[in-house]
Structure 1
Amino acid sequence: MESRELAYFLAVAEEQNFSRAADRLGIAQPPLSRAIQRLERRLGVRLLDRTSRQVSLTRAGEVLLKEGRKALTTLATAERLARHAGQATSRLTVVMKPGGGAGLLESLLPRFAAHPDAVDVEVLICGLGEEKALLRDGTADVALLRLPQDDLSGLATEELLTERELVVMARTHRLAGRTSVRMADLAGEVFPRWTAESPGSGSVIKDTGQVAELIALGRMVAVLPESVACHLGRDLVAVPVDGRQTTLLAAWPEERRDHALAVFIRTAAEVAAMRSTRVTR
């Protein structure tokens, strides 16, 4: 199967319309239809059910859509990484969501810059849940993530530090005067949804400013890492949740072997260890 044929099929499958898919690809509709027919003959299965009004996926088509997306993403990543490997590393791109660095970068960046093998570092602030995709497509070199993660396949990781989780609430909340709470105490509360797929009844959150505003209005509470919770807003209360901790880790593509990246990860671990030592004293 050629990558071009796969790209043609994905366009038709996603648009569910040959005309729109042809416009998206910048080709005429007849050659697109012929290409899909050749692909079906080569595979020996029908991928699409066609009527005069619509195009729908067969079971085989659904499988090819899912796996085809992965294949094209992998191909694009391989191309980007090959180009990267053929060039001298002069820059590292670090990606994290807003407030996702646990305050480490303030010490990490100057310490890394002082290393003889340092390179320039670009910090990319992304949307919630975008870090791994940016690593896998080669846009970023290293990401700062929180455990647990649903899928770290293809990524190497280094645990940096573990911190408490606190529940953040409005000052008028019924639990605001507590010194600690249990998750059972929060039964019935509305929590933010970090992605559209997350369970719950709260709003889907795009950034920490949004969640701070909703908490201050008494519309929800949020359980957050201590480094985030304590800097979310002056009008909010943050109370430790018994037994809840979260771990920050650095993640990078496991096939990467360049020296500058290794130095950055080692420096991050050193800075995190120094911070952990200060906290536990």
Structure 2
Amino acid sequence: MDHLETRQLRYFVAVAEEQHFGRAAQRLGMAQPPLSRAIRDLERQLGVQLLVRTSRRVALTPAGQTLLDEARIALDAVATAGNRTRHAGQDVPALRLALKADHDAGLLPKILDAYDVLPVRLLLGGYGEQLPALHDGRADVALMTTPFDERGLDSEPLITGPRLVAMAASDPLAARTSLRLADLAGRLLPYGTPAEKGFPKPPFDPHEPLDHSQIFSLIEVGSTVWYLPVWLAERFARPGIAYRPVEELEPATLTVAWPARSRSAAVAAFVRTAQRVARETAPYDNLFPLVHPV
């Protein structure tokens, strides 16, 4: 057998990512012995060692790292082909829009009202789920806030505004009208990153993503702080939380993004509609009511 099979790649990726045959077998829903045999057969087929095995874990060889990188690309391509084929075969075409709820800066209702090319099906997901949906063909277009990994995508900015820090209203820093990152030393973001390091850079990979209610509950009791766009802060005004600008934070930009290889006229029309609606929307230039201490 000369050609690799997707089954072999899935098995290998699971072992490589888990770094443990037992956990990988559990993830794949199979017993460990046949998984171990499949990886040994794969190494014999390729004529290289992919993994260094110890009693507690496995580690990738340079050849194994290469296969992991290529296998992820190949498996994503297979998933994308299936998703796009199923979508193309639907009786009623629709534009699939991926976004995180409440992260549309108030533009979504106006965009949907103005866009009349195809019905729009919303794919609501958690933090970071929009990017995979674009890459694997589950979504045609997405609304996302910078920063994100733009490789393989085209995008256009829609609206830009400050990124604020949300903190407990009882925090002594809430008495200030403006902060610097150094002022936030000793405070942590929701996933444990020191707040003074600023907004995390992509890729974001929280093991168990928190929803808005969980994050805001942690903020109110002083367990964490959070950086968020001004338009999201406006939607979640709570008496126990104070929002303050931080001088060194990069502003947030809401963008419309789509796969770079897309040639869809429906996507192009959606992008034009979103841009027109954004131009007609007032900018975020008056933060005084939001950040003024009470």
Q: Is 2:257 the counterpart of 1:251? A: yes
Which residue in 1 is equivalent to 2:120? Answer: 121
CA deviation profile, 1:64-109 (whole Å, cap 9, x unmatched)? 2343122211222134334545667721222222322111112111
- Residue 189 (structure 1) shift: 2.4
Which residue in 2 is equivalent to 1:192? Answer: 190
Q: Is 2:211 the counterpart of 1:207? A: yes
TM-score norm. by structure 1 comes to 0.79
Which is worse superposed, 97-106 or 265-274?
97-106
Question: What is the DSSP-based 3-state SS (H/G/I as helix, E as strand, rest coil) of the residue aligned with 2:281?
Answer: helix
Equivalent runs, 1:48-127 vs 2, <5 Å: 48=51, 56-59=58-61, 60-85=63-88, 90-112=93-115, 115=116, 117=117, 119-127=118-126
**Which structure 1 residue ranges, 5 or more long, are not aligned?**
none
8 Å CA contact 1:91–1:122 kept in 2: the answer is: yes
In the alignment, the residues of structure 2 paired with residue 276 and residue 238 of structure 1 have an alpha-carbon distance, to the nearest angstrom, of 21
Q: Structure 1 pair 173/78, CA: closer, same or farther in 2 (3 Å)?
A: same
Letter in 2 for 1:200: P
- Residue 56 (structure 1) shift: 3.4
Question: What is the DSSP-based 3-state SS (H/G/I as helix, E as strand, rest coil) of the residue aligned with 2:245?
Answer: strand
Which residue in 1 is equivalent to 2:246? Answer: 241
Q: Structure 1 pair 37/126, CA: closer, same or farther in 2 (3 Å)?
A: same
Letter in 2 for 1:110: D
Question: What is the DSSP-based 3-state SS (H/G/I as helix, E as strand, rest coil) of the residue aligned with 2:175?
Answer: coil
**Which structure 2 residue ranges, 5 or more long, are not aligned?**
196-205, 287-294
Question: What is the DSSP-based 3-state SS (H/G/I as helix, E as strand, rest coil) of the residue aligned with 1:140?
Answer: coil
- Residue 241 (structure 1) shift: 2.5
Give RMSD over aligned pairs: 3.5
Letter in 2 for 1:140: A
In the alignment, the residues of structure 1 paired with residue 212 and residue 34 of structure 2 have an alpha-carbon distance, to the nearest angstrom, of 49
- Residue 20 (structure 1) shift: 7.5
In the alignment, the residues of structure 2 paired with residue 167 and residue 173 of structure 1 have an alpha-carbon distance, to the nearest angstrom, of 12
In the alignment, the residues of structure 2 paired with residue 241 and residue 19 of structure 1 have an alpha-carbon distance, to the nearest angstrom, of 42
Q: Is 2:44 the counterpart of 1:44? A: no
In the alignment, the residues of structure 2 paired with residue 47 and residue 211 of structure 1 have an alpha-carbon distance, to the nearest angstrom, of 40
